[in-house]
DNA sequence: ACCTGTGTTACGCGG
DNA sequence: CCGCGTAGCACAGGT
């Protein structure tokens, strides 16, 4: 990749339109044609464009400033360099097996739940993951040991109002087209207050589980409607 | 900021836990203590941590490798440098008035609609922005010139199925607690096919507007239910 | 190519 | 300070 330190302006047109007035910034141009314009603040670049299927062309404008244009089907970004302080090329080849190992993801929580469902829902058996509800796949499907009623389980790391909407979408559709006796529950490491309110208001049970990838796990807090029939 | 080109490992603990095996990468350390680890692919860093209220300490580990640790209340990230190829300091001071100008946002579309509602809905008067429906604030509230029926207007840049859900939530609650004669419409620069289907299926009118911040604007495409009574 | 869902989402705004 | 909703979200995976 190339790292350019320059006083530059930037113009972007595509999903929105943005313009950056002249200023000193860092421009990072990657091997895959991605470009990032950074200043000293925060994780996100001031301006950027994905390299997917984009081409790079370098020109000089009427003022003699060097311009780099990144162009794809639907987007274009131009960096106008009023003054270049430095430019270096550095190699950071993409990793194959040296990639990122990740822990504590929703994916892993799902796996753990599917294998240890009795820890948190002792009256249910795990049936299947990514079960199709008709309105998209729900994370886990379980079934009551006694009544044999299905239970849709939506898993989140952090559950917000949006997660409750998701559960309700799944449950509505499932009850309509598959089984009117279906129930649903929201399981998360963290259920936000607004999500709790909303879920309780709509009679969706929720359950906060204290889980870490290689340690103890337990129910932290939970809520079930009065008429909750397993 | 400092740009370090090094063969390094990275460990992060906080919202999740991640680990990067030794590899050549670019490390960007900003003035606000944010850190980003990049390879040659994509916009997002492989690993990163926000600089907000974090401290930086440099140490040597038992192998004599230089380590930089970023520590905050709830997160910590350590970069272990097995070999440093280069390190440069570059200045990219934060901008005050030279910041990012943004155009074509939902916010601006809302403003334009509130001031030019008659362009797209000639039979309605604009009443207020961010009107509380009981299920959250709807972007715009308008009223029929003739029948005085209220109209909830949800504005999006890109409208997906989720936007239709949102409109229906607002309308249901609004009709229940405020005014049973309320109507609702979805207005967007782009209404996705799946959103059109779903909206039409649920009798929610939608309207695609061809708008740009400082040019002409017009209705591009729209759909209203048969029983649409203004 | 579009749709769906996740993310260490990041970030700004309001309470 | 925390919670909440937005984003030019980015990105992966499926259809």
Please list every residue in chain A whose beta carbon sits closer than 8 Å to the beta carbon of residue B23: 92-93, 95, 98
The answer to whether A121 touches A45, Cβ cutoff 8 Å, is: no
Q: What is the mean pLDDT of chain B?
A: 89
> At residue B103, does pLDDT exceed 90?
no
Chain centre to alpha carbon of residue B130: 18
Protein-proximal nucleotides of chain C (any atom < 7 Å from a CB) = 1-12
Gap between the Cα atoms of A7 and A27, Å rounded: 10
Task: Give the global pTM.
Answer: 0.85
> A79: Cβ under 7 Å from strand D?
no
Q: Determine the residue of chain A that is closest to B89 in CA distance.
A: A5
CB–CB of B42 and A34 under 8 A? yes
pLDDT at A222: 93
The answer to whether B122 touches B135, Cβ cutoff 8 Å, is: no
Average pLDDT over residues A166-192: 92
The answer to whether A68 touches A76, Cβ cutoff 8 Å, is: no
> At residue A181, does pLDDT exceed 90?
yes
Average pLDDT over residues A152-179: 91
pLDDT at B215: 65
Gap between the Cα atoms of A56 and A72, Å rounded: 9
> At residue A98, does pLDDT exceed 60?
no
Gap between the Cα atoms of B120 and B211, Å rounded: 11
> How many angstroms is C1' of D7 away from CA of B105?
10
Nearest to B26 among A18, A92, A99 (CB): A92
pLDDT digits (tens, 9 = 90+) for B178-229: 899 999 999 998 888 888 988 898 899 999 988 876 667 778 889 999 888 7
pLDDT at A200: 93
pLDDT at B95: 76
pLDDT at B193: 84
Average pLDDT over residues B72-96: 93
pLDDT at B58: 96
Question: Of A98-107, B36-45, B82-91, which range is least confident?
Answer: A98-107
Nearest Cα residue to B93 out of B30, B34, B38, B44: B30
pLDDT digits (tens, 9 = 90+) for B20-31: 999 999 999 999
A105 touches chain B (CB under 8 A): yes
CB–CB of A86 and B86 under 8 A? no
The answer to whether B199 touches B164, Cβ cutoff 8 Å, is: yes
Average pLDDT over residues A147-166: 92
Q: What is the mean pLDDT of chain A?
A: 91
pLDDT at B109: 87
Nearest to B90 among A26, A43, A45 (CB): A26
B99 touches chain A (CB under 8 A): yes
> A195: Cβ under 7 Å from strand D?
yes
pLDDT at A213: 67
Please list every residue in chain B whose beta carbon sits closer than 8 Å to the beta carbon of residue A41: 30-32, 34, 94
C-alpha distance from residue B24 to each of A89, A93, A143, B120, B150 (Å)? 13, 7, 49, 55, 61
pLDDT digits (tens, 9 = 90+) for B30-40: 999 999 999 99
pLDDT band at A96 (very low <50, low <70, confident <90, very high): low
> B132: Cβ under 7 Å from strand D?
no
Please list every residue in chain B whose beta carbon sits closer than 8 Å to the beta carbon of residue A43: 34, 36, 45, 48, 50
Gap between the Cα atoms of A184 and B153, Å rounded: 32
CB–CB of B40 and A99 under 8 A? no
> B42: Cβ under 7 Å from strand D?
yes
Q: Which residues touch strand C (CB under 7 A)?
A: A 41-44, 73, 100, 102, 105-107, 135-137, 139, 155-158, 166; B 12, 14-16, 18, 34, 47-50, 75, 77, 160-161, 192-195
Average pLDDT over residues B106-126: 89
The answer to whether A210 touches A219, Cβ cutoff 8 Å, is: yes
Name the residue with higher pLDDT: B72 or B160. B72
pLDDT at B214: 66
**Percent of chain B scored above 90 by pLDDT?**
54
> At residue A74, does pLDDT exceed 60?
yes
pLDDT at A123: 94
Gap between the Cα atoms of B173 and B8, Å rounded: 55
pLDDT digits (tens, 9 = 90+) for B132-161: 887 778 889 999 999 999 999 999 888 888
pLDDT at A230: 76
> B102: Cβ under 7 Å from strand D?
yes
- Name beta bridge partners: A20: A10, B100
Nucleotide nearest to B34 in CA–C1' terms: C10
Gap between the Cα atoms of A88 and B34, Å rounded: 22
pLDDT at B108: 85
Residue identified by tokens 């559960």 is A167
> How many angstroms is C1' of C12 away from CA of A146?
49
Nearest Cα residue to B158 out of B111, B203, B194: B194
pLDDT at B170: 85
pLDDT digits (tens, 9 = 90+) for A195-206: 999 899 999 999
pLDDT digits (tens, 9 = 90+) for B160-187: 888 888 888 888 888 888 899 999 999 9
C-alpha distance from residue A35 to each of A26, A46, A173 (Å)? 10, 11, 43
CB–CB of B16 and A98 under 8 A? no
């Amino acid at each position: 990749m190339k790292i350019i330190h320059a006083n530059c302006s930037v113009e972007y047109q595509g999903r929105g339109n943005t313009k950056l007035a002249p200023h000193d910034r860092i421009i990072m141009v990657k091997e895959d044609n991605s470009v990032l314009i950074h200043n000293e603040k925060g994780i996100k670049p001031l301006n950027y464009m994905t390299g997917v299927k984009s081409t790079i062309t370098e020109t000089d404008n009427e003022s003699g400033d060097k311009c780099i244009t990144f162009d794809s089907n639907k987007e274009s970004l131009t960096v106008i360099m009023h003054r270049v302080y430095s430019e270096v090329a550095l190699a950071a080849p993409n990793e194959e097996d040296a990639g990122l190992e990740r822990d504590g993801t929703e994916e892993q929580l799902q796996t753990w739940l599917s294998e240890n469902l009795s820890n948190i829902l002792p009256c249910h058996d795990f049936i299947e993951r990514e079960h199709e509800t008709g309105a998209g796949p729900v994370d886990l499907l379980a079934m009551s040991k006694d009544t044999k009623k299905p239970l849709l389980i939506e898993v989140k790391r952090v559950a917000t109002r949006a997660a409750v909407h998701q559960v309700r979408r799944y449950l509505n559709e499932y009850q309509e087209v598959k089984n009117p006796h279906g129930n649903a529950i929201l399981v998360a490491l963290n259920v936000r207050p607004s999500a709790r309110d909303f879920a309780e208001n709509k009679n969706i049970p929720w359950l906060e589980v204290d889980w870490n990838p290689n340690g103890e796990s337990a129910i932290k807090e939970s809520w079930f409607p009065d008429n909750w029939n397993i």
